Structure 1
Amino acid sequence: MTRQMHLVAFLMAGPTSHHHGMWRHPESENAFLDPAAYEHVARVLERGCFDGLFFADVLGIPDNFQGGYDTMVRRGGQLTLLDPIPLLAIMARATRHIGLGATISTTFHNPYQIARTLATMDIISQGRAAWNVVTSASTLEARNFGADALPARNARYDRADEVLEACMALWRSWDDDAIVLDKEQGVFADPSRLHRTDYQGKWVRTAGPLTAPRGPQGHPVIMQAGSSDRGRAFAARWSEMIFTLQHALEDMQAFYTDIKTRMAALGRAPGECAILTSVDPIIGETESIAREKQEYVNSLIDTDLALALVSSQTGIDLSRYPADRPIEDIALEEGSRGSFDIIVRVTRSEGLTLGEVARRFATSELCPQIVGTPESVADQLQFYFENHGCDGFIVTPTAFPGTFETFARSVVPILQKRGIFRRNYTGRTLRENLRG
């Protein structure tokens, strides 16, 4: 059987995604407070046979640029205005097949709460839940949850390992056949088929059993985006989908090889985890129209907002550094190591100033903008896929919901015709579709 590409959509419940001028685009509806908008995009993506969609999430309003959040709020930056969990429940009712992913932090949420919420989501979606595991990356989020600062990076991953272990134990606390529903005998459920968890680690503990019975998948599909060495080790152990930000094919291939090698060392088969690299498609009727669209949408980026974005990603107030000079490689403890590494690499390789690289980052977080006609966009995706840069793609919008509508209508049929993307869902659950 021909190797099949996977597609997952990147969503945020706010004005922007990876492109930080998105809300200003004339075709963006900015209906991010309207439940119907989320139902609509879920149906669009399901018609396009996407494996899934997931919501990125930030637990606060970034406030470390020029001493506050004024620029981020005024210019419409990376704000997550709504809790993704209720939105996913709405989308579950509007669809039948597409996977539904939530971002939940292991640093600020306890395993019982996480396990109960996601077991419920898996049940009501009939086996389509996914968990994008994050350890959080900013002091801002720590303050919102009553802490002065984040734990050290490796400690956050150590806690995340324990949270995953505890959640897995909680998800096993109900046997599949525990609910009996014998009206005649008056037996609702068999208590012998429930099991205490009694998990205790350094960071978390939980007694169990979980109140929610086991979902159709047993546990939700685990998704993760760590880029540091410790993050990659975590991904190799747990992830079934990896969301990665890479700049070029060589970077994709190096990351792909590293993760698959780490998985093999842990006894995991390559097919147990799909590595998906982020891309921003910009599609036109002709190549020149597509390039004009790219130039236009990228012109919507505000420089101060771009600097505020990079400040929030790195944990450094970049207003303290000259925007007309390259950024230095600064040791980071908070912030996103993966994002900062890409910024530094591009700054050095292309000789960009801080202001220039910030604007570039704000167009796609330095992931490839795949620009062209539907045919040439399909060509580019196929090239990355067949050269083992990835197992598929995280598709991020530059206009919402227009990017997804155009991609599903024009690019997906070409990939299907070439035999590298499904024409129909064949699995009953998200996990079955990912491995099918």
Structure 2
Amino acid sequence: MSRKQIHLAAFMNAGPQGTVGWRHPDAGDGFLTAEHYLHIARVLEDAKFDVAFVPDALAVPRSLGDSFEPAVKFGTGTPRLDPMTVIALMSSVTTRLGVAATMSTGYQEPYNLARSMGTLDHLSGGRAGWNVVTSFQDAEAQNFNQDKLPDREERYARAEEFLEVTTRLWDSWSDDALIHDKESGRFARPEEVEAIDHKGRFFQVQGPLGVPRPPQGYPVIVQAGASPTGRDFASRWADVVFCSHESLESAVDFYQDMKRRAAAHGRDPEQLKILPAATTVVGTDVRDAMAKHEAFFELVDHEAGLSRLAYHVNVDLTKYDLDGPLPSLEVVGVEGHYREVVEFAEREKLSIREIGRWYGARTEGNMIGSADDIADTMEQWLDAGAADGFMIQATHVPAAFEDVANHVVPELQRRGLFRTEYEGDTLRENLGLNRPERGEWRNRVKGVAEAGA
């Protein structure tokens, strides 16, 4: 009987990698050049990765000390290039690798996003993905005529309507609307194109979209919400969920919860892929890999790590005693990261200052060791029902991705856990996801209504 296959995604900034990844002796410094991203794309496609995933934020972080100085000083969360431009470049030198970009429902309009993603899906031959975020920093709001972010429930309410409008726009053309009949002069069937005439709380959009229906129906939708509201949103709309866990046990709990929620909304749970973060440090053996990790840890200033953590939780940690414990925070930006930090800090009894150093060099998923060790851990998580694959977070680029491609991937292939050739042409095909029929958005909106009943 064939084994369940692992899916691999690459988490890569359109800018410096991680907190101090740019300081690593083997890190490239060409993040402002096209060749940097083109090289990474070729490495990932040669290794048969499913997708390159680019996070984003619409501000230079100000969460630590209400100043952008730490972020600029240490290169945490800044600079960030436009991810759509970057993934379009990456798609131009690949034929199977999926490319996904983060765009916020808080500071975009559905028509523009549907057109951009639809265009990229066509030009890439069906390899586009959209990581849906609602934004989590007040600094972002302050770049868009607001003093602070709306509360979480308000942001998700906007996101719900945003997804409905966007998917309806992708569906505004039928799959066979285009005919290109040069002899008759008929370009398309008007009866197969429709306006959406949407008038809602947040958006008024007439349609139809000026781009025919994407090759994938809908570009692959990625989401990373960890709060109860975020989980419910993802279990209805997402194809891929990106998550972060400090232990195998919490990963199993999350996996089971998300699959259960998907089934409750009438979805096939296998059509929701769960990809926990995995920071890989590959050595000849555990001792060699730990030496590499410890050398990387020595590069981290506690303030750099706290800058990154403050950015993720959207809380100014300088308000607290840095040599005391992390206090309970009721309202945070990225809830998944906060829970992970609390779990680890309580177990290790860390002060805020110590958390900063750990967070700046943290390795998620305990993926430190030889290629065989890392493959063992991945196989353990797969068999335990904690993951459908992994979001590889490189400590530095491109070398850490090259280590996975050259050492870990061949070991996974030897075990029959990872492809040796791509299964299909589109990102959906390679992830084992069905192509949505026209009108699939109705099932997702129905889930919203039922959840509120």
TM interval, short-chain normalised: over 0.9
Q: Percentage identity across aligned positions?
A: 39
Partner of 1:409: 406
DSSP 3-state at the match of 2:52: strand
The answer to whether residue 424 in structure 2 is matched with residue 427 in structure 1 is yes
Partner of 2:14: 13
Contact 2:95–2:425 under 8 Å retained in 1: no
The 10-residue stretch of structure 1 (79-88 or 408-417) with the greater mean CA deviation from structure 2: 79-88
**CA RMSD of superposed structures (Å):** 1.2
Query: What per-residue deviation string (whole Å, max 9, x for no partner) do you get for residues 72-102 of structure 1?
Result: 1011112142101111111111000011101
Unaligned runs of 5+ in 2: 434-453
Partner of 2:295: 296
After TM superposition, the structure 1 = structure 2 runs for residues 222-237 of structure 1, keeping only pairs within 5 Å, are: 222-237=221-236
Partner of 1:337: 335
- How big is the shift at 1:150? 1.2
Contact 1:246–1:252 under 8 Å retained in 2: yes
- How big is the shift at 1:408? 0.5
The answer to whether residue 18 in structure 2 is matched with residue 35 in structure 1 is no
DSSP 3-state at the match of 1:259: helix
Query: What per-residue deviation string (whole Å, max 9, x for no partner) do you get for residues 315-367 of structure 1?
Result: 221112111110110211x5222222222222222211111112212223x62
The answer to whether residue 72 in structure 2 is matched with residue 73 in structure 1 is yes
The answer to whether residue 319 in structure 2 is matched with residue 320 in structure 1 is yes
Q: What is the distance in 1 between the residues matched to 2:91 and 2:335?
A: 33
What TM-score, normalized to structure 1? 0.97
After TM superposition, the structure 1 = structure 2 runs for residues 152-191 of structure 1, keeping only pairs within 5 Å, are: 152-191=151-190
Partner of 2:248: 249
After TM superposition, the structure 1 = structure 2 runs for residues 51-90 of structure 1, keeping only pairs within 5 Å, are: 51-90=50-89
What TM-score, normalized to structure 2? 0.93
Contact 1:169–1:199 under 8 Å retained in 2: no
Contact 2:9–2:50 under 8 Å retained in 1: yes
Q: What is the distance in 1 between the residues matched to 2:269 and 2:64?
A: 41
- How big is the shift at 1:368? 2.6
DSSP 3-state at the match of 2:291: helix
Q: What is the distance in 2 between the residues matched to 1:146 and 1:16?
A: 29
Contact 1:279–1:369 under 8 Å retained in 2: yes
Partner of 1:398: 395
Contact 1:119–1:215 under 8 Å retained in 2: yes
DSSP 3-state at the match of 1:144: coil
- How big is the shift at 1:369? 4.0
Partner of 1:100: 99
DSSP 3-state at the match of 1:13: coil
Q: What is the distance in 2 between the residues matched to 1:47 and 1:369?
A: 25
Give the partner amino acid of 1:405: E
After TM superposition, the structure 1 = structure 2 runs for residues 352-371 of structure 1, keeping only pairs within 5 Å, are: 352-364=350-362, 367-371=364-368
Q: What is the distance in 1 between the residues matched to 2:6 and 2:217?
A: 25
Q: What is the distance in 2 between the residues matched to 1:355 and 1:268?
A: 44
The 10-residue stretch of structure 1 (220-229 or 323-332) with the greater mean CA deviation from structure 2: 323-332
- How big is the shift at 1:205? 2.4
Q: What is the distance in 2 between the residues matched to 1:417 and 1:211?
A: 46
Give the partner amino acid of 1:371: I
Q: What is the distance in 2 between the residues matched to 1:325 and 1:198?
A: 55
The 10-residue stretch of structure 1 (319-328 or 181-190) with the greater mean CA deviation from structure 2: 181-190
Contact 1:16–1:79 under 8 Å retained in 2: no
DSSP 3-state at the match of 1:8: strand
Contact 1:6–1:50 under 8 Å retained in 2: yes
Partner of 2:381: 384
The 10-residue stretch of structure 1 (281-290 or 26-35) with the greater mean CA deviation from structure 2: 281-290
Q: What is the distance in 2 between the residues matched to 1:278 and 1:55?
A: 14
Q: What is the distance in 1 between the residues matched to 2:83 and 2:72?
A: 20
Partner of 1:374: 371
Contact 1:328–1:344 under 8 Å retained in 2: no
Unaligned runs of 5+ in 1: none
Contact 1:21–1:298 under 8 Å retained in 2: no
